[in-house]
A = this chain, B = another copy of it.
Amino acid sequence: MKSDELFALLRRRGVFWPSAEIYGGTQGLYDYGPLGTALKRRIEEAWAAWFVGLSHDYYLIDPAEILPEAVVRASGHLENFTDPEVICDTCHNAFRADTVLEKIRPEGVDGLPSKEIEEIVRGRGVKCPSCGATTLSVPPPFNLMFGLDYGVTGHERAYLRPETAQSSYLSFPRMWDVGRHALPLGIAIIGKAYRNEIAPRQLLLRMRSFEQAELQIFFDPEHFPLPFDRVRDEKLPVVRAERRLAGDEEVVLTSAADLVSAGKLPEFYVYHMVHTFRFFRDVLRIPPERIRLLEKSDQERAFYNRLHFDVEVLLDSMGGFKEIGGVHYRGDYDLSRHGQGSGKDLSVTLTGGRAVLPHVLELTYGVDRGLWAVADVHLGKDGDRTVWRLPPYLAPVPVGVFPLIPKEHAKFAEQLSDDLAAAGVSNLYDDSGTIGKRYARMDEAGTPFCVTVDAETLADGPSRGTVTVRSRDSKTQERVPATELAGRLAPAFRLPRPKRSA
């Protein structure tokens, strides 16, 4: 589906809609409705089961999303977290400079002073993308962080965090004490980050308040124990930076072993590329041909990232591959900056007495973007039906419960609905309209199983107590004793988990 059509459907079904809609909406903010809220929670749970599940020493935490100024000064965000902006003096719209200059300067404008960007814009007679006038100008760089007057004195400054990662770095010393005093130590956060985006477009793909799921793995650069042999034959769809710079964007399926030997990537890095790729393929069930791991070049990546691959998914609604996640090797940049900023030594002493300032491997995932991706990829037409083929464990409504004839079957069906809920199977009770219409609503909502209570359920004889279970994907129906329902469906709702690395 096209973006507009998909959004219209998701809005109508209450997945999400523009925030403060009755006031005309707030640019860059969306509200999740019942289906979207449940879907987002399940995606978060699936992410945590997969990534935090990689080791006994990986933990999920939830720190505050407001950072004092000293923190963003140390991290470099206060100085450098800017996006060059272009504004039109005729229509007063604002645009990202890299978007406006996409064709003229495909390598981007990072690091260029505003004056030089303005020279390019004027020199090439670039037109405003909105009104067409050649009156574009380039104001001084614009910090993307939202600042707050914090406290009551009027002199304290704080910021909404621009990435969850910073909260993990701040928590490292405390987590070292709480944990087993061993590396690698993983700190995961699922939480909000905030950016005052110049051009918050593309719906959930560029929001001003958005959700990240990030795992920061703190490790000893001299020794990262992991069972690489288990993943060496996995073939990954990679686009290396060197080939891209030479104009070749083709995906090359390359085994993990080859990425290490010929590709000169470290084992620990490739091992986590494999697990990240598998999350997209095996947990979100994105078809592998829609996934690519795209390496950023020296010019494109942040200077502190020693290695940087984006995980991109081909989204028909957005007309191409879009970044949904990433694998970043950040070295010791973060702990050394916060060591300087706080005046604390953040190195740790390993068994044996060696002191180490841990390096960081960051696995990052955009929760909102990922939600849009599973809508783009799994929601579509199948003849007359509109069906959202979500993996059952991600379905916002795992089960629909229907009385065939409400007057006759409601009592049994309501009890069944309550029993399923008590057994941990959340479900939607629906008694309105024909069974066909109820199936259709559930198909759109991504519900994998619908259960109908009918005359046979209540009749004497061998069918007594049985209900029909209809599968969304196969459209087959089966009679199952109501008492066995929760147990029968349970395996489909189990979250996929990785084999532990340690």
Interface, chain A (partner B; CB < 8 A)? 12-14, 17, 19-23, 26-27, 29-34, 36-38, 40, 49, 53, 56, 59-68, 70-71, 85, 87, 92, 94, 142, 146-153, 158, 160, 167, 170-171, 173-175, 177-178, 180, 192, 196, 198, 208-209, 338, 341-342, 344, 346, 414, 418, 421-424, 429, 432, 494, 497, 500
Contact = CB atoms under 8 A, between A and B. Distances in A.
Contacts of A70: 20, 23
B146 A344 contact: no
Contacts of A341: 23
A346 B423 CA distance: 38
- Between A67, A152, A418, the greatest number of chain B beta carbons within 10 A of the residue's beta carbon is seen for A152
B209 A151 contact: no
B158 A414 contact: no
Contact of A23 (B92, B142, B342): B342
B208 A66 contact: yes
Nearest to A493: B424
A167 B31 contact: yes
B14 A158 contact: no
Contacts of A38: 60
Nearest to A338: B22
Contacts of A170: 19-23, 31
**Which of A60, A61, A424, A432 counts the most chain B CB atoms within 10 A?**
A61
A14 B497 contact: no
B418 A64 contact: no
A32 B63 contact: yes
A68 B20 contact: yes
B61 A34 contact: yes
Given A171-B31, A178-B13, A344 B61 contact: no
A33 B62 CA distance: 6
Contacts of A64: 19-20, 26, 29-31, 209
Given A37-B62, A170-B21, A497 B26 contact: no
A196 B37 contact: no
A170 B31 CA distance: 10
Given A149-B147, A209-B66, A33 B19 contact: no
Contacts of A37: 60-62
Pick the 8 closest A-B CB pairs, nearest first. Answer: A14-B178, A31-B63, A29-B64, A34-B59, A32-B62, A19-B64, A37-B62, A22-B342
B494 A422 contact: yes
With a 10 A CB-CB cut-off, give which of A23, A27, A173, A418 has the most chain B CB atoms. A23
Contacts of A60: 34, 37-38
Contacts of A494: 422-424
13 contacts: A14-B175, A19-B66, A22-B342, A22-B344, A23-B70, A26-B66, A29-B64, A31-B62, A31-B63, A31-B167, A53-B421, A150-B208, A152-B196
B68 A23 contact: yes
